[in-house]
């Protein structure tokens, strides 16, 4: 066999394997282990929210945190300065920025 024929066969075989693996991955039904945990927020009357188990664990860890009540009267907090910058309103641009430019 010529070198070009060998390369062609290898490329075709690689494409067939790639398509086969892709078909398996995309047609596979999701397993029950990857389904999100469903919980209901009492603030959302009758509505349910899908929250992953990882998110629920993170929320549980955050809820365990507590701040001392004197944190806002502490000198380290009171000497902090506000360095925020106000953003001025600007004129709105063209209605369609991708439209043709009129001269």
DSSP secondary structure string for all residues of 48-84 = -EEE-HHHHHHHHHHHH----GGGGTSHHHHT-----
Instruction: Establish if 93 belongs to a structural domain.
Output: no
CA 48, CA 42: separation in Å to the nearest integer? 9
Q: Alpha-carbon distance 101 to 103, whole Å?
A: 6
Query: Structural domain tally of the chain?
Result: 1
Residue 24 has pLDDT above 60, yes or no: yes
61: domain range? 3-78
Res 54 pLDDT > 60: yes
The answer to whether residue 96 sits within a structural domain is no
Among residues 17, 13, 20, 15, the alpha carbon closest in space to that of 5 is found at 13
Domain assignment present for residue 10? The answer is yes
Dist CA 56 CA 39 (whole Å): 10
Residue scoring higher pLDDT (19 or 42)? 19
Residue 39 has pLDDT above 70, yes or no: no
Q: What are the residues whose beta carbons fall under 8 Å from the beta carbon of 38, sequence distance 6 or more?
A: 48, 49, 50, 51
Confidence of residue 84 (pLDDT cuts 50, 70, 90): very high
Task: Determine which of 2-6, 47-51, 58-62, 85-89 has the lowest per-residue pLDDT on average.
Answer: 47-51
8 in any annotated domain = yes
Please give the share of the chain, as a percent, with pLDDT higher than 90.
Answer: 23
Whether residue 102 lies inside any domain: the answer is no
Mean pLDDT over 61-79 rounds to 88
Let me know if residue 92 belongs to a domain: no
Q: What is the 8-class DSSP label of residue 28? A: S
| Residue 101 placed within a domain | no
- Whether 99 maps to a domain, the answer reads no
């Amino acid at each position: 066999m010529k070198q070009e024929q060998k390369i062609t066969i290898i490329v075709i075989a690689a494409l067939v394997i790639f398509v086969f693996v892709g078909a398996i991955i995309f047609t596979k039904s999701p397993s029950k282990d990857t389904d999100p945990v469903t919980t209901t927020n009492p603030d959302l009357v009758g509505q349910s929210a899908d929250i992953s188990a990882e998110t629920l664990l993170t929320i549980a860890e955050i809820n365990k945190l507590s701040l001392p009540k004197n944190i806002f009267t502490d000198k380290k907090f009171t000497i902090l300065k506000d360095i925020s910058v106000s953003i001025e309103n600007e004129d709105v641009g063209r209605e369609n920025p991708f439209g043709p430019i009129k001269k």
